[in-house]
A and B are shown apart, each in its own frame.
Chain A
Amino acid sequence: MSCLLRSSAALAFLFLGALQSVAAAAEALTTNQPADNLSFVNLDTMKEVARIKIGGKPAGIALSPDKTKAYITSPDSRELVEVDAVSRAVTRRLVVGGGPVGVAAHPKLPEVYVADWYTHKIIVVDTNKFAVVGTIAVGKSPSGLAVTPDGRLLLSADRDSNTVSFVDIASRKRIATVSVGNHPFGITIDDAGSRAYTANVKSNDVTVIDIAGRRVVGRVPTGRRPYAVGLADGRGFSTDQYGETVTAFDLKTLAPIKVIRACDHPEGIEADTARRNIYVACWGDDVLLRIDPVALKVTGKTAVGDGPRAFGKFLR
């Protein structure tokens, strides 16, 4: 009995230890496009702790499932750049061609998907070999990408077709398209894998898609030029680039709740895993903002490199 107690205490200790190490590592990685570098921000202290050179005007970002690697698109040099997020160093670079923008990692397979703005396809990169292993034709100028949590579907926001492409990852084929608002850019899938949200730059709204039904279930008006969507505490948040705001809306009713004054050109947005905060990269003001998704207020801010975009998943 005492042995059992002791081992469960040891287990609890180990478990807590693991939790603490995860919490201690909480970081945001912002791709600073004009500055050509990547900032690491400690989310507990809201302070930038490191900055490394990337090159090629980095924009998009995705993290490996264990969050130890970052995959960054550099459209000017037409590369995918791999960064060891633990040692904070560039480890490999791969010229993928065209205009790489959005990027998403598979939750289980060693694969990342890169949206090629100019050739209108998705490039599949094997992250073990760090080589292109396939391409998938989608709509025009694919921008944001997202993978469902079960790893079966890849969704692509095809900016110049005003559609979202549904790609079957096993066969690497587009199996459906759904029409959304005008110029979808960022796309975000909820944790349950049931809905996807596109930020439509030219129609100033968010389109809500039922993934299983492959249909649009609603539309939310936002501030001007929405870029991407974050999800936290039953609420959605759009970064409105020209509006300089973050529009919060209810995920059940799809009604706007509050327009939060944010910064000049808010862009990349993501909720932390514990859903306590939302982080926003401000391209115009060169800062990372922290927003409380319940109080709907800006609660923190820190300087990063020039022109942070953080287009994709950038929290680890």
Chain B
Amino acid sequence: MLKRLAIAAAILGSLPAVALAHGPSRQKVTESVEINAPAAKVWAVVGNFQDMSWVPVVAKTEGKGGNKPATNEATNDGATRTLTLKDGGVINEMLDDYDAKEMTYAYEITKVDVKVLPVNDYSSHITVTADGDNKSTLEWKGAFYRGYMNNDPPANLNDEAAKKAVSDLYKSTLAAVKAKIEGGK
């Protein structure tokens, strides 16, 4: 009985992610932090797609393909990574664009349970900009739909919940990166 319930829960839980129609209103979140360090130093911390250890909630990054972006979404021939979070959640991602000279890369989530991050069709940019020789700005920008793909979403899977989850992740991470780099740790 318990087992059957668990299976039913698993099926129900996966429905929003499987549903093809998505809510028509795409959300965006942009957060940035000024860091008292040269841009190259910040890029050295955040610029490797295969190392997401600068995000405090990430426990492990496993991937392949280095920093080579996919030439086409369908062929999926570029770099991919699997993030395991400290709470056990798993996120699969692929690299869409990578420019070391401009110190920016773009990636998208290819698979995530809405219980881990309440979003769908998430794509994101990370950019480091120099503000003089010893100061720089780290920006994290995301585009995504809410966790529930149909009309009348439950509160935990609505637009506000999606924006809050992403914004909280960005803010806490950027603050941690700033502390780590400025603190010399």
Contacts and interface: CB of A to CB of B under 8 A. Distances in A.
Interface in B18-57: 20-21, 23-28
Given A99-B151, A224-B73, A242-B73, A59 B21 contact: no
A251 B72 CA distance: 23
Q: How large is the interface on A (under 10, 10 to 19, 20 to 34, 35 or more residues)?
A: 20 to 34
A314 interface: no
B108 interface: yes
Nearest to A221: B72
B24 A99 contact: yes
Contacts of B93: none
Nearest to A306: B28
Nearest to A309: B26
A118 interface: yes
B93 to A, nearest CB: 13
Contact of A101 (B24, B28, B123): B24
Contacts, number: 59
Interface string B89-112: 000000011000000001010000
Interface residues of B, number: 21
Given A224-B96, A284-B141, A141 B108 contact: no
A244 B69 CA distance: 14
B26 A224 contact: no
B68 interface: no
12 contacts: A34-B27, A59-B25, A75-B23, A76-B25, A98-B151, A141-B20, A204-B73, A224-B96, A225-B73, A242-B106, A265-B143, A283-B28
Given A204-B72, A224-B72, A242 B25 contact: no
B141 A57 contact: no
Interface in A68-127: 75-76, 98-99, 101, 117-118
A308 to B, nearest CB: 12
A137 B161 CA distance: 33
Given A118-B21, A118-B151, A242-B123, A33 B73 contact: no
Interface in A283-306: 283-284
Nearest to A307: B28
Nearest to A203: B74
A204 B76 CA distance: 12
B14 interface: no
Nearest to B151: A118
